Amino acid sequence: MGAVPSRGFHERWSNEPLVIDKWVGVQATSPREDTLDRVIALMGKADFSLRNPNRIRSLIGAFCGANQVCFHAADGRGYRFLADRVLDLDPLNPQIAARLLRSMVRWRRFDSERQRLMRAELSRILDNEVLSADVFEVASKSLED
């Protein structure tokens, strides 16, 4: 029996949220060069919502927290992606937004260019006029000397 093509997997299991959560997590942790583009495409599916914490953790959380290769890509796209999602999520669910942001709090452990990129995104978040106390606390504490 052959493997189920991933193209049809989502459609076949779309009525099983736990299966889809696991599947998007696998997609988000792939070391492929196009993984971030795939994550963004999965966010466009009808069953993805920024109001669904499980799907956010499965997709965005898995990419930012468990995909060290793609999230920390040298071009900084992963950091910008996370900062954009944190800003999108903050008004809807500040606790989830703050939890996702923790993927960048250890920026000092990386090379100088990645440190610069992460600090820039943390600063961009802090520059937002409307920011929850949860996200403000994580971002500001991570930038303290």
pLDDT in tens, 106-145: 999 999 999 999 999 999 999 999 999 999 999 999 998 6
What is the token pair recorded at 13? 């299991």
Q: pTM value?
A: 0.90
What is the token pair recorded at 30? 């792939």
Give mean pLDDT, residues 71-96.
97
pLDDT digits (tens, 9 = 90+) for 71-83: 999 999 999 999 9
DSSP 110: S
Which residue, among 43, 41, 6, has the nearest Cα to 26 in the 3D structure?
A: 6
Residue 47 in this model has a pLDDT that exceeds 70: yes
The span from the CA of 128 to the CA of 110, in Å, is: 25
In Å, the largest CA–CA distance within the chain is 57
